[in-house]
């Protein structure tokens, strides 16, 4: 299905709420994760939101961002027509204009000054056979970030013959075919590549990931709007129970939340295998039934302030990271 359809179909296929008689999921644990900046990655709409978190949340996500099949910050300019045109590579993107508009948001106080991000590490990926988000869109994002963050460490990969989705090297579907759960087996360890770019050298990934390390948690204390699901997922290696680990936020794409694919992205993205051996907690927030086809808000379906520091979805995710930073309860 083309992203145009994903954006325009809203309530026909959305994530269900918890059953009325179902017990609420447990609260997100306090794990004492490191407070010197989380990293964030995302695919498709999640890539757009990852960039928004990186630029709008001050130092919280300033260390690094990875965008898979995404585009520039503020690309849609609050218009779904803009989102479906230039932002998918259907026509040229005016990068200088988007740079100016981002700088204007700083001046207006909608987002903080981009001081903490100046030495950020950025990983960009676009599949060579992606017919949904054109490679040109990712190239526009790279140009925008180079203008806004001239000292950032940016790398981009566009040579893998992948369709639209998240690339894996273990279990997944055909590399060049877009199909649920949108995990594409291209023989490329994308999770390892992006984590090592963002975090530096890592221990080898685990061959077997402990099943019990992935937990559901209650997202409702962070945001009660229907655009966020009632529960999210968090991967906690046993070594992280006592605190001191780093945290990475991983954002699914359209039609990739729990209502569409269950735990597929949270379990099979490849991120957990690296997290298990590198003292890394991975947070998987989930959109809900009010999110247009499960997409994160990158064009303004939730209101005009979707790019600002107080946008509901971003504020909720920032609150989740803040909870993880709190000292573990004994």
User: Would residue 164 show up in a list of annotated catalytic residues for this protein?
Assistant: yes
User: Which residue out of 44, 45, 56, 269 is catalytically annotated?
Assistant: 44
Alpha-carbon gap, residue 253 to 295, rounded angstroms: 6
Q: Is 254 helix (H, G, I), strand (E, B) or coil?
A: coil
User: Would residue 79 show up in a list of annotated catalytic residues for this protein?
Assistant: no
The 10 Å Cβ neighbour count of residue 325 is 18
User: Would residue 44 show up in a list of annotated catalytic residues for this protein?
Assistant: yes
CB 218 within 8 A of CB 269: no
CB 89 within 8 A of CB 74: no
User: Which residue out of 45, 130, 189, 248 is catalytically annotated?
Assistant: 130
User: Which residue out of 54, 164, 182, 248 is catalytically annotated?
Assistant: 164
Give me the phi and psi of 219, to 5 degrees please: -90, -10
The sheet carrying 214-218 orders its strands as 153-157, 121-125, 64-68, 39-43, 246-251, 280-284, 231-235, 214-218
Question: Tokens 């655009």 identify what position?
Answer: 227
- DSSP code at position 88: G
* 95-127 burial: b if 16+ Cβ within 10 Å, else e: beebbebbeebbeeebbbebebbeebbbbbbbb
Catalytically active residues are 44, 130, 164
């Amino acid at each position: 299905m083309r992203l145009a359809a994903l954006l325009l179909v809203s309530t026909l296929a959305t994530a269900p709420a918890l059953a009325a008689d179902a017990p609420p999921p447990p609260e997100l644990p306090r794990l004492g994760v490191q407070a010197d900046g989380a990293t964030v990655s995302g695919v498709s709409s999640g890539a757009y939101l990852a960039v928004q978190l990186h630029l709008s949340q001050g130092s919280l996500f300033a260390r690094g961002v990875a965008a898979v099949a995404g585009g520039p910050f503020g690309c849609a300019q609050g218009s779904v027509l803009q989102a479906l045109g230039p932002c998918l590579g259907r026509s040229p993107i005016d990068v200088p204009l988007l740079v100016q508009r981002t700088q204007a948001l700083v001046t207006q106080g909608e987002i903080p000054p981009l001081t903490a991000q100046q030495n950020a590490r950025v990983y960009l990926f676009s599949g060579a056979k992606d017919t949904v988000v054109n490679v040109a869109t990712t190239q526009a994002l790279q140009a925008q970030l180079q203008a806004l963050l001239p000292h950032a460490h940016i790398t981009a990969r566009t040579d893998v013959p992948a369709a639209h989705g998240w690339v894996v090297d273990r279990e997944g579907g055909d590399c060049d075919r877009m199909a649920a759960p949108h995990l594409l087996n291209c023989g490329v360890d994308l999770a390892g590549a992006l984590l090592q770019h963002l975090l530096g050298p890592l221990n080898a990934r685990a061959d077997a990931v402990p099943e019990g390390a992935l937990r559901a948690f209650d997202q409702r204390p962070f945001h009660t709007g229907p655009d966020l699901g009632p529960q999210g997922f968090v991967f906690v290696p046993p070594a992280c129970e006592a605190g001191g680990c780093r945290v990475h936020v991983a954002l699914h794409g359209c039609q990739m939340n729990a209502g569409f694919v269950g735990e597929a992205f949270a379990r099979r993205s490849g991120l957990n295998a690296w997290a298990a051996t590198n003292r890394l907690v991975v947070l998987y927030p989930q959109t809900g039934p009010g999110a247009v086809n499960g997409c994160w808000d990158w064009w303004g379906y939730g209101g005009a302030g979707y790019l600002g520091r107080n946008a509901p979805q971003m504020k909720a995710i920032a609150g989740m990271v803040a909870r993880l930073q709190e000292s573990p309860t004994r």
